[in-house]
Structure 1
Amino acid sequence: MQHGPAVRRRKLGAELRALRARAGLTSGEAARLVGWHQSKVSRIETGTSSTKPADVRLLLDAYGVTDPRLRELMLALAGSAGSGGRDHWVHAYRGVLPPAYRDFISLESQASAMRTLETTVVPGLLQTPEYARAVTRAAMEGVDEEQLDTLVEVRLARQDVLRAHPPLELNAVLDEAVLRREVGGPEVMARQLERLMEAARLPQVRLQVLPFTAGAHIGVTGPFVIFSFSSTSDLDVVVLDHLTSSLYLERKEDLQAYTEAFNALRAHALSPEDTLEYIAATI
């Protein structure tokens, strides 16, 4: 169990090590190609030290990596806001967003698929501006209006991943409490539920509601997100949110456990078609 920066360094190092091996190079040969000492390559590959995006670019060039999506992912793991990926806009908010949130956005923007269980609120990628404002104000008591405006802007900017080419594939299971909790008042909530119906009809979005009648289920332990990456499954990660921080789980055993849990939740949830009818009835 690690925090965002540590797991990103480890994953970046593991992937760079695999790319070096694929290029047929030893760590010493790679170091000579880029003009470094071998120990620097080793520290990067073991994740014991942070890595500058410029250094990652040097290594990717040395290893002959030309796939734009893979390069973007490596730079995102190195913390390169503005690297040309889908999270380039985050750079404008670096002074406002905490590092853990920036880590989450970078992973979200570079992932090919996202599976999420939500037990209390609508997922950020599907929130309306009014709902996002109400949720943020409640979660950050005492936040001033300027900060609130900025955080809502960020929430809405994140949603561009659903309109990207290719778009993020979103598979979301929502506990019925998400639909029943009246956030922002009846009008705000009605519009939010309409937005869920609109999103559910998108080809890259699969939305399922887990009704109260399903009884106790594995999701009662709390919400979670599983990010998957098309370039390599070794970069998949589970994110657990807490009040003051996020935890990242990247061991194969953790990924398997959460994947099985998500599949079990989907099996107990309403089908996407029945979910649309259920949301319409709730409105």
Structure 2
Amino acid sequence: MARQLGNQLLGFREAAGLNQTQAAEVLSAQAAKVAKMERGWVPFRDPDVIALCQLYGVDAPGTLESLLRLAKLDRERRKAKGWWVTSLTPGSLREYIAMEDVALRLRTWQLALIPGLFQTPEYMRALAVAAVSPDRIEEIERLVDVRSRRQQRLHGDNPLRVHAVIWEAALRQMIGGPRAMRQQLRHLCELMEAPNIDVQVLPFRAGVHSCGGGPFNILSFAEEGAVDVVHMDGLRSTNWVEGAEESAAYTELFTRTCATSLSPYDSLRFGESIAKGMNE
């Protein structure tokens, strides 16, 4: 929410032709405060949001109310103390999990890996060993524990709704060996029976597809005025897309890929057949 609100204020400032120093004057503050607000690094005070909107000439009906609503939601979420606060050091992963915990829906596209929310402990450990030195057992188990706890969002009274599109390569890549991979695929097939989970497989035979640029997650929220947030986690960096037009572009990309993928029913049968064909 903070990053999204900051982006909107940044856009309004640039449209008004003002720099951060000029914006800071109306807040009786330094330019650094405006910079931190626009990056979503600090909580938003209602008087500051109102003052900036007046300066920027933002007077569209409902716009200020929407911004103040986002500011309130952001303050409430900063006060929340989820398990990830003590389990993870500050960073992109902790920020992502905090957003995933309050999201209503997740749409995810995966090229080479089973989505984290669907991974078995054995599959997780195989991935962790590849990323962490094998002698750092505690670090490996910590990574497995964090991912396992994230999976709690798939259950309960208000479970996260997940729509995953997975390239066939992720089902065939032998991570952890045949036994672990067969177990992973069977677990995936069991999850596909859940009412809040839809999985589609994009088979090799579909040919060139729209989402060749890399995996991404689209998080959707229940709050009025909340724009979808797109998260892309790379080897050395994490990218967030929170503008309305940009997130809409990823939604369209996801929708096009769904259209060329197998149906959920056919994907389930496809996953079962791959699991059966795996030998020790």
TM bracket, shorter-chain basis: 0.7 to 0.9
Q: CA deviation at 1:11?
A: 2.2
- What is the TM-score when the length of structure 1 is the normalising length? 0.74
Q: What is the aligned partner in structure 2 of residue 23 from structure 1? A: none
Amino acid at match of 1:195: H
Instruction: For residue 221 of structure 1, report the CA deviation from its aligned partner.
Output: 1.3
Matched residue SS, 1:235? coil
CA drift of 1:137 comes to 1.4
* 1:10 aligns to 2:3 (yes or no): yes
**Distance in 2 between the 1:49 and 1:255 partners?**
18
Mapping of 1:93-104 within 5 angstroms? 93-95=87-89, 99-104=91-96
What secondary structure sits across from 1:171 in the alignment?
strand
Partner of 2:105: 113
Tell whether the 8 Å contact from 2:221 to 2:227 is kept in structure 1 after alignment: yes
| Residue ranges of structure 2 left out of the alignment (5+ in a row) | 10-25, 50-70, 276-280
Q: Indicate the larger mover: 245-254 or 273-282.
A: 245-254
Is 1:269 paired with 2:261? yes
Residues 28-68 of structure 1 deviation map (CA, whole Å, 9 limit, x = unaligned): xxxxxxxxx9557x959953673359x79xx9xxxxxxxxx
Quote how far apart the aligned CAs of 1:135 are.
1.0
How far has the Cα of 1:10 moved from its partner?
A: 3.3
Q: Note the C-alpha offset of 1:262.
A: 0.3
Deviates most, 158-167 or 132-141: 132-141
- Partner of 2:208, secondary structure, is coil
- Give, in angstroms, the shift of residue 272 of structure 1: 0.3
Larger Rg: 2
The CA deviation at 1:240 is: 1.1
Structure 2 residue 207 is matched with structure 1 residue 206: no
Q: Tell me how many residue pairs correspond in the alignment.
A: 237
CA deviation vs aligned residue, 1:95-134 (integer Å, no higher than 9, x gap): 4xx5111011111111100000000111110000110111
2:19 alignment partner in structure 1 = none
Offset of residue 9 of structure 1? 3.0
1:12 Cα deviation from its structure 2 partner? 4.5
- Alignment deviations for residues 185-236 of structure 1 (CA, whole Å, 9 cap, x no partner): 1110011001111111110000000000000111111111111001135331
Query: Does 1:92 find its partner at 2:93?
Result: no
1:146 aligned to which of 138, 145, 163 = 138
Equivalence for 1:126 = 118
Indicate if the aligned counterparts of 1:238 and 1:250 stay in contact, CA closer than 8 A.
yes
Letter of the structure 2 residue corresponding to residue 9 of structure 1? A
Stretch deviating more after TM superposition (251-260 or 112-121): 251-260
Q: Distance in 1 between matches of 2:86 and 2:194?
A: 29
